[in-house]
Structure 1
Amino acid sequence: MHTSRTKPPAQGPAADLEHQKAAITSLGHELRALVEATVRTAASPDTLHRVADGVRHLTGQLTGRRRARAEIPEVDDFPAGPRMYSPVTGAGSPLAPPMHITLAPDGLIGRCVLGIAHEGPPGYGHGGMSAMLLDEIMGRACVTAGMPGLTVSLQMRYHRPVPLETPLNILGRVTGTDGRKIFVTGSVTAQEDPATELVTADGVFVTPDLRRTRALFPDL
């Protein structure tokens, strides 16, 4: 008689890494919810002091070795893959929207929703957030084109305010090269109205030479 067997769960370093990523993602999600609740609350001072004590206690539980300033986390795939603590795309970051990036017909598209924690003018995103989103997608476009580069210049044009709590598209594409220079364009639009550009950018990125790369990223 044939009996089916349940496939045993994966084990080993790869499984441990995925388990770590899942835990980081879960904590990041809850931290983003905490940040959003913090900037929206009208709780009393007593409540805020009590919550602050609780958060201080939680922070004390994050024990163990802390990574150094330039150390690349083992859960990251740098420079081409996901970075768990990126302030733009990181699932583990309390600061990130986070933006999810996929291939577009002529570049990359990022999708995210800015919350109240990202507010500049009331009801709209801070202009610096638009710059950060575009810098990320345009830099990733360079990597996808096989030319990883560092930002040299980013010229921003703010056409309309970027609404909060609204699904956004962030586009980036490489338009040309000149030696180690890479020319990239980007835009931010609302998903419900992709034809109307809210913010656009032109950027210049430069692929560092091997000596400079080693100096900047000694842990690679």
Structure 2
Amino acid sequence: MTSNDSGAAPDAELMTATTDLGDALRELIEASVTTTAPTGEVAAAAELVRAAIARIDGNPRPAAQLPRLDDPSEGRRVFNPVTGIAHPLAPPLVVRAEGDGVVAEVTLGLAYEGPPTFVHGGMSALFMDQMLGSAAGAAGLWGMTAHLELDYRGPLPLQTPLVLRARVESHEGRKANISGTIALASAPEKVLVEARGLFVLPRPEKQAAYFGAVTDASGNHAPPRRPGDATALRLA
């Protein structure tokens, strides 16, 4: 799913603290890949990070248990690696409905670098997969990625505003064909990355096999009602 602020948080103080931690970790990641500090300072920073880990590492949740702050029915996935406000790998991307599809803007730092000064191609695939899923959700379609292909028409520069778009091209039954693009925000008509994907809603027996063991944070059985990760959108 996409957005990062839909629905009311079950614990406002925890949401604030978790969001603050995500922001701090994003800053740490960017600092760690851009630092020119002396060796001793880098080593000292590593020790501080390990001390911080020790404060929060007790009793981690199992993979089949949703985080305390998540509510997929409300479109809230705070640890989504693209749109989650608490995930240190997420920019985070804020996706909104626009016209017959969805759009998002983002500026990526050196933490996303592949070739020097340019975005890693795998990151483009990650963001496009999310955007295509978001377009499906915006159209009232739900499913999981069955096929994704990208054409790289030009490199994406780092530290430069980008615009990402996606829309449903066609759908029939359980299948939806969706396309997306990435371009410079200053030249949105010149596509640098083009994506095409097939999203399929799993049959009920597959849904049960994939998600039947999922619980909420209290351990109650809570398989997602809408397979996929296309969360609620910011509408304005």
TM-score > 0.5, shorter chain as reference = yes
Deviations 1:177-200 (A, max 9, x none): 132111000000111111111100
Gaps of 5+ in 1: 1-13
Gaps of 5+ in 2: 1-7, 215-222, 224-236
Instruction: Tell me if 1:200 matches 2:197.
Output: no
* Whole-Å separation in 1 of the counterparts to 2:14 and 2:174: 37
Deviates more, 1:110-119 or 1:29-38: 110-119
Give the CA deviation at 1:23: 1.5
2:9, 2:15 within 8 Å by CA — same for their partners in 1? no
Give the CA deviation at 1:15: 6.4
| Secondary structure in structure 2 of the residue aligned to 1:133 | helix
Instruction: Tell me if 1:141 matches 2:135.
Output: yes
Residues 92 and 46 of structure 1: CA distance in aligned 2, closer, same or farther (over 3 Å): same
Question: Which of these residues, 117, 122, 143, is aligned with residue 123 of structure 1?
Answer: 117
Give the CA deviation at 1:33: 0.3
> Which of the pair has the greater relative contact order for Cα pairs under 8 Å at 6+ separation?
2
Give the CA deviation at 1:79: 6.1
Alignment of structure 1 residues 64-143 onto 2, 5 Å: 64-78=58-72, 81-143=75-137
Deviates more, 1:147-156 or 1:62-71: 62-71
Give the CA deviation at 1:29: 0.5
Deviates more, 1:62-71 or 1:37-46: 62-71
Q: Which residue of 2 aligns with 1:20?
A: 14
Residues 161 and 59 of structure 1: CA distance in aligned 2, closer, same or farther (over 3 Å): same
Residues 213 and 79 of structure 1: CA distance in aligned 2, closer, same or farther (over 3 Å): farther
Q: Which residue of 2 aligns with 1:162?
A: 156
Q: Which amino acid in 2 is paired with 1:123? A: T
Q: Which residue of 1 aligns with 2:43?
A: 49
After superposition, the CA RMSD in angstroms is 1.5
Q: Which residue of 2 aligns with 1:59?
A: 53
* Whole-Å separation in 2 of the counterparts to 1:174 and 1:215: 27
Question: Which of these residues, 178, 181, 188, is aligned with residue 184 of structure 1?
Answer: 178
| Secondary structure in structure 2 of the residue aligned to 1:61 | helix
Matched-pair identity in %: 39
Deviation above 4 Å: which 4+ runs of structure 1?
Answer: none
2:23, 2:88 within 8 Å by CA — same for their partners in 1? yes
Deviates more, 1:159-168 or 1:60-69: 60-69
| Secondary structure in structure 2 of the residue aligned to 1:161 | coil
Deviates more, 1:145-154 or 1:77-86: 77-86
Question: Which of these residues, 205, 210, 213, is aligned with residue 204 of structure 2?
Answer: 210
